[in-house]
């Protein structure tokens, strides 16, 4: 079992090298793992740093990708498609979609490991701030915005997952299916991914996380981005309909691990 970390890189020059070094050290324990740095529209030296990191030797290879358009969805789409192009053994590789500042440290990874081995039935795991055992310390405004958005996803779209904006562990063979369905290229990308996973009845498990202190100012503007994501959610439901009821074949899996 190998991990492919996809890190969106947008104006991350101050933190990128340190976090990639920590990630490489952690991934040494997972043979065949790699890191994809998906730079998207940066205005600082992020791309140059990403290329320097890719040139460094090591047991965990780093690849620097770039796309001119800014947007976390552009980065995720670029990374997923690159992984699918490079790797044929898709059932033995897991994509990890997270942020360059590693907001959960490796608390999500430590809880994911038991679900990643042979014989496991989950194909999508989520580091979830909504998990009852998660340790989350954010501003009251951001916490309220998250609660409102979770309620709207449930009411408007019928989604059951508590947090579609955390980290995502996605088996690569499932990624080949989902990437063809996702149209968003902004913050809605991960919600759209989870929406389609639920709609198709893929087994999903949410994992507890520990939110780390912020390494740099967040680019998320809760209410502005929240309104934009609500509009995207309404368009999604208009096109695909609401998520159907819980499928029988996933009833044995816990929603929360």
Higher pLDDT, 257 or 94: 94
For 121-130, the pLDDT digits (tens) are 889 999 999 9
Residues 6+ apart with CB under 8 A from 150: 130, 162, 163
| Spatial distance between the Cα atoms of 169 and 167, rounded to a whole number of angstroms | 7
Domain at 2-137+163-214, CATH homologous superfamily: Spore Coat Polysaccharide Biosynthesis Protein SpsA; Chain A (3.90.550.10)
Higher pLDDT, 42 or 141: 42
pTM of the shown model: 0.92
Three-state SS sequence of 151-190: HHHHHHHCCCCCCCCCEEEEEHHHHHHHCCCCCCCCCCHH
What's the whole-number mean pLDDT along residues 231-254?
A: 79
| Spatial distance between the Cα atoms of 116 and 71, rounded to a whole number of angstroms | 29
Place of tokens 């369905």: 181
Please provide the average confidence, as pLDDT, over all residues in the chain.
91
Residue ranges of domains in the chain: 2-137+163-214
For 138-156, the pLDDT digits (tens) are 778 777 888 888 899 999 9
């Amino acid at each position: 079992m190998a991990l492919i970390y996809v890190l969106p890189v947008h104006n991350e020059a101050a933190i990128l090298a340190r976090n990639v070094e920590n990630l490489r050290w952690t991934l040494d324990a997972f043979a065949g793992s790699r890191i994809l740095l998906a730079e998207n529209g940066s205005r600082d030296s992020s791309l140059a740093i990403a290329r320097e990191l890719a040139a460094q030797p090591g047991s965990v290879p780093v690849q620097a990708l770039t796309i001119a358009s800014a947007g976390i969805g552009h980065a995720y789409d670029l990374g997923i498609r690159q992984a699918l192009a490079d790797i044929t053994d898709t059932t033995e590789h897991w994509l990890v979609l997270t942020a360059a500042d590693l907001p959960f440290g490796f608390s999500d990874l430590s809880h994911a490991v038991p679900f990643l081995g042979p014989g496991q039935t989950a194909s999508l795991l989520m580091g979830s701030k909504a998990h009852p055992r998660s340790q989350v310390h954010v501003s009251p405004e951001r916490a309220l915005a998250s609660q409102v958005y979770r309620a709207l996803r449930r009411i408007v779209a019928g989604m059951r997952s508590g947090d579609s904006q955390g980290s995502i562990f996605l088996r690569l063979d499932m990624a080949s299916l989902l990437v063809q369905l996702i149209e968003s290229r902004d913050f809605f990308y991960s919600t759209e991914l989870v929406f389609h996973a639920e709609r198709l009845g893929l087994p999903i498990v949410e994992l507890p996380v520990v939110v780390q202190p912020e390494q740099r100012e967040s680019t998320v503007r809760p209410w502005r981005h929240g309104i934009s994501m609500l509009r995207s959610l309404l368009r999604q439901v208009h096109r695909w309909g609401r998520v159907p009821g819980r499928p029988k074949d996933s009833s044995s899996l816990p929603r929360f691990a």
